[in-house]
Structure 1
Amino acid sequence: MTTTLRKTGAVALKADAVHASMGSGPSKTAVLHGLSLEIAAGQWTSIVGPNGAGKSTLLKTLAGVLPHTGTVSLWDAPLASVPLRERARQMAWLGQNETSADDLTVWDVAMLGRLPHQAWLAPASAADEAAVEQALRATQAWDWRCRALGQLSGGERQRVLLARALAVQAQVLLMDEPLANLDPPHQADWLAVVEALVEQGNTVVSVLHEIGMALHADRVVVMAQGRLLHHGASGDAETHRALIDVFDQRISIHSIEGQWVALPKNK
């Protein structure tokens, strides 16, 4: 895994003819249908689409946490060939409805993000502690570091779980609905964190329902029914048309004070 692949134009993640299903036996349902996609390194890519489009399934497949056919590659290496420990160092994951033991302190939850860097049963190093402090401060959870996770609100927990993912200090960060339970000011804080990560050369992939927030990304992937409908720059007119179409003309996209926003439309 060479960091030279992080240069502009490199591909961090690639899906090639990927099929994935949910469930098993008679209830098994195909979700992704031969989907192919390249995720540019050093950029933020948001995946959007209506409910049931397969967004979360795609993200789980890219993360290697869901069985699939076809090939998923990380830095040009088939994901299946990358040792799990190395994969965990290279790629951090924040899923929907993530849980952790309620009796763990916020500090201990965030420290879980350092496990890929630690020897078995080894104590935390100075580098581990510095990474956790940086992550907790970035998510404004530092003041709760001694509190139990079970004492926090939903939004506070989400910020701690984000800190756990940030503490990995991975080159690639995948997040599924990371804005769940976050109020608007902390959504803005999340946006600042993502923009800082990308500025540092990292790659971010997010599944978002908030179209206006997704339009802050460098690239937008539009999905429907387990297929890729469009992949383009967030400011491109074709990307906006694809978004409007996939949501059945129920939104409109405008530029307000230099930012793209999506507004709902009545039937």
Structure 2
Amino acid sequence: MTGSSAAPAVDLRDLRISVDGTSILAGVDLTVATGEWVTVIGPNGAGKSTLLRAVGGLLPAPDAVRLFGTPIGGLRRRDRARVVATVAQSPVVPPGMAVLDYVLLGRTPYIPPLGRESAADLAVVHEVLDRLDLAGFHARELATLSGGERQRVFLARALAQGATLLLLDEPTSALDIGHQQEVLELVDQLRRTHGLTVLATMHDLSIAGEYADRMVLLAAGRVVAVGTPREVLTDRLLAEHYRASVRVVDGEHGPLVVPVRPRRQ
């Protein structure tokens, strides 16, 4: 892979995406430094998931996206999969698939065509399962797991890829608050100990603000604010772009967004 070691993990320049003639992203610029956690927020339809899909190479934007200094159009699919891993909102899981087999799918970029996984591939998967406290789940079917356990398995598959850039699309949307914290604490721990870079989208503004180094507010396909959580999560910006009545309270790890009922006229 080419590019300077000092190059940002993600560099977007004038990213434009249209679907069926409708503009979804209208010229987005964004830089994510290596090791940084950046969370993209915004109202429904703002283009958050589309941005993640473009960074992951699932939507064509060959000239607008650079990963670690290399234009994404210059990366073969297998090479891209060794650099960036995505945890989707609701990954498709084949019926009856066991945890070990699902996490092994993360090793696909390293297995030759028509080949089988090696002992080294299995060792990576077992190490990841141990790290995520899933060692006793090898033979369990994913369908039998709780929401928090399944989310850990989805994360395990992404980590098994060996990628250093994690794209998390609403990683806690189906979880209760305890499992939300469990998953996000795990991601943050892995980021710090393994030098991962995280680009996430999240709906829960309070929990997003507690974990992100920086936040990006998207509205109508454009970046309307970028900065620390305290700079982006303000009464004015949230009222303007979410059309919501909220009160922002300063918390220990970041601002907390509390919905309040609008005053009756």
Instruction: Report the TM-score range of the alignment, normalised by the length of the smaller protein.
Output: 0.7 to 0.9
* Shift in Å, 1:149: 2.4
- Which stretches of structure 1, 4 residues or longer, exceed 4 Å deviation after superposition? none
Q: Which residue of 2 aligns with 1:161?
A: 154
* Shift in Å, 1:150: 3.1
Which letter maps to 2:14? A
Q: Which sits farther off after the overlay, 68-77 or 53-62?
A: 68-77
Which letter maps to 1:226? G
**Contact 2:215-2:232 within 8 A present in 1 as well:** no
| Aligned match for 2:176, one of 170, 177, 183 | 183
Deviation string, structure 1 residues 89-127 (Cα, Å, up to 9, x no partner): 011111222112122211000110111122234333343
Q: Which sits farther off after the overlay, 136-145 or 70-79?
A: 136-145
**Contact 1:138-1:193 within 8 A present in 2 as well:** no
Deviation string, structure 1 residues 189-248 (Cα, Å, up to 9, x no partner): 21222212321321111110111121121110110011111111224x355353454223
| Aligned match for 2:227, one of 224, 232, 236 | 232
Aligned length: 259
Which letter maps to 1:46? T
**Contact 2:37-2:214 within 8 A present in 1 as well:** yes
Q: Which residue of 1 aligns with 2:85?
A: 92
**Contact 2:3-2:69 within 8 A present in 1 as well:** no
Deviation string, structure 1 residues 119-161 (Cα, Å, up to 9, x no partner): 2343333432232223334444332220222333444433322
Cα distance in 2 for partners of 1:102, 1:211 equals 34
Corresponding position: 1:66 with 2:63: no
Deviation string, structure 1 residues 68-91 (Cα, Å, up to 9, x no partner): 475111112110011211110011
Corresponding position: 1:125 with 2:118: yes
Unaligned segments of structure 1, at least 5 residues: none
Identity among equivalent positions (%) equals: 37
Unaligned segments of structure 2, at least 5 residues: none
Change (3 A) 1:134 1:2: farther
Change (3 A) 1:130 1:142: same
| Superposition TM-score, scaled by structure 2 size | 0.88
| Superposition TM-score, scaled by structure 1 size | 0.87
| Aligned match for 2:70, one of 58, 77, 85 | 77
1:113-152 correspondence to structure 2 within 5 Å? 113-152=106-145
